[in-house]
Structure 1
Amino acid sequence: MFPLWPLAALLASLVSLSIGTSFAKHLFPAVGAEGTTLYRIVFATLILMALWRPWRQRWSRQDIGPLVLFGLTLGAMNLLFYSALKTIPFGLAIAIEFTGPLAVALWTSRRPTDLLWVAMAVLGLGLILPWRGLDAPGALDPVGMGFALAAGACWAVYIVLGQRVARKHGVLATPMGMLAAAVLVVPIGVAHAGAALLDSRWLLAGVAVAVLSSAIPYTLEMYALRHLPKRSFSVLLSLEPAVGAVAGWIVLGERLGALQWLAMGFIMAASMGAAWSAGRGPGET
């Protein structure tokens, strides 16, 4: 029997993340993508620091380097993804970003069927490239797509580094990584948004973004990960682009065309297939 509550927790985390990120886009006119990233990282760091209290742990110099690199990657990934959201729809930005973890999954698997997942991902990306010119209806901004692809590359590095620091430090790796991310993001956000960041209206909205986009999803995902098989978790996580597209439609009024939905479907199917394939044992077919 499939565990109901862990499944519900994972789906709830996807919904919370998607709503929080969609809501974050409303802050762009006031503080920009950079200022919104600052809000998310800083407030999420404070919440996770208070929750896990990593200062009680004794840290060595050897611990700091990998954690800083992990956190800088996390900060860059958030900055790049929010920059992508300035010009392309939320659901498609997630789908493009998913090429990062997809690449990691394919790198760790050596099955002939992996070529199928690569072909599906390439086809999905090909369907949303602006082949007919930037002025064609529904054409995506190539700069925004570039930001999303760069965020995907950071996500791939984040997964590799995250596995290493998590094995050594467990849940404490996240607040420490977020602290390093804040060191990167804060100067950039302040330089872009300046005094607008201190406006009480945007501060409260920033707290909401951090709670919905980071604190709640992280807590629910940790619960789901402890109770779901890793392969099932990864496959279900591949639903995020579709959930994001629905949230973008409801919260932001972003409507995707049939071809864009098809492209997103190909990328999601590739992600699911790669996750399922990577989780099989050597003798399975």
Structure 2
Amino acid sequence: MRYFIMVAAGAALWGFWPLFLHPAGLSGVQNAFLAMATMALISPFLLRRESLKDRRATRALVLMGVADALNVALVFAAVKRGPVAIAILTHYLAPLLVALTAPWVIRERRSLRALIGAPLTSLGLGMLIWKPGEDFSGWTAVLGGASAIFFAATVFCAKEAARAWSPIAVTSVHSAVGALTLLILFRGSALPPIEVPVLWVLAGGVVSGLIGNVLFNQGMRHIPTSTTGALTYLEPLTATVLGWLVFHEALGLWGLLGGILVLTVGVWVATEPRTLGSPLPSISGTP
């Protein structure tokens, strides 16, 4: 039971990111840089010669950092733009993308549930995004959906990196690569101003980033993959509830039904029996 609680707690902590991002008032790229830099602080102490010798796993770890930098920047931009529910639920197209592309990327058997779930998820997202008589949240959905593509890429990279690197090393070292990637791509615009609100994102990097990922990664090694997949959906559920309670984001009946459909289909796809070692998504791309 302890490991189930660890995975559930880690996934729920990811859903608390909006609480840290909104008060800071920074751009998505600045939030992403701060979060990844915070998780990267312990990376120098986690480098091991034995792990570095596995070049394939190390290359995967580097690629994971690059993909996750774009993933986090996009999803944080979506969260900042709001509504939070749309940002996180479109971001969570990633598990579906992983299930659909796994037969080609890692030659895993085809997922019948993913094929059935794809159009149902699209329907649910449409119900969630479209609100008659209100401003269309299309850009939030585009940013969240784009982040899902890079999110899915980190999953496959994380699976390979985990062969030689520990869960906490994957979390921290790939974050160092991600922070460097953001600096290269966005230069000075990735650096936040030195002001008090920055502390909110730093706190999020510790609580939702480092602690959340370590809890999740440690627990998932001891419970069935299908169960872990279902528990990851505690993140969008938590974020959606917070958006409603804290940020007063009304979904409406139509949006509520759409969100329930997305979550239900996601859990249904995630709980499909798979072969041992199937890839499993987790936020920030950790394995």
Instruction: Establish whether TM, by shorter chain, passes 0.5.
Output: yes
Amino acid at match of 1:153: I
Partner of 1:125: 125
Q: Which position in structure 1 is the counterpart of 2:137? A: 141
Secondary structure of 2:147's counterpart equals helix
Q: Secondary structure at the match of 1:223?
A: helix
Q: For residues 9 and 147 of structure 1, do their structure 2 counterparts lie closer, same or farther at Cα, with a shift above 3 Å needed?
A: same
**Cα RMSD, aligned residues only:** 2.6
Q: How many residues align?
A: 268
Question: What corresponds to 2:73 in structure 1?
Answer: 79
Return the alpha-carbon distance in structure 2 between the equivalents of residues 84 and 163 of structure 1.
Answer: 26
1:221 aligned to which of 206, 216, 220: 216
Residue by residue, what CA displacement relative to the aligned partner does 1:153-182 show, whole Å, maximum 9, x if unpaired?
A: 011111111111112333333322111101
- 2:210 partner amino acid: A
Kept after mapping to 1: 8 A contact 2:10/2:216: yes
SS in structure 1 at match of 2:271? helix
* Contact kept in structure 1, 2:124 and 2:262, CA below 8 Å: yes
TM-score (norm 2): 0.82
- Offset of 1:81 from its aligned partner? 0.4
Are 2:16 and 2:238, in contact at CA under 8 Å, matched by a contact in 1?
Answer: no
What residue identity is the alignment partner of 1:116?
I
Cα displacement string for residues 172-228 of structure 1 (whole angstroms, at most 9, x for unaligned residues) = 33322111101022356662365x5322x1343232111122111112102320222
Q: Assess if the C-alpha contact under 8 Å between 1:84 and 1:93 holds in 2.
A: yes
1:162 aligns with 2:155: no
5+ residue gaps, structure 2: 103-108, 277-287
Higher helix share: 1
Which amino acid is 2:157 matched to? L
Matched, 1:93 2:87: yes
Which blocks of at least 5 consecutive residues in structure 1 are unaligned?
Answer: none
Deviations 1:68-93 (Å, cap 9, x if unpaired)? Answer: 21100011100010111132222221
Deviation per CA, 1:77-136, whole angstroms, max 9, x where unpaired?
Answer: 00010111132222221111111221212444535444432232121122134485xxx3
Provide the TM-score with structure 1 as the length reference: 0.83
Q: CA deviation at 1:143?
A: 1.7
Structure with higher Rg: it is: 1
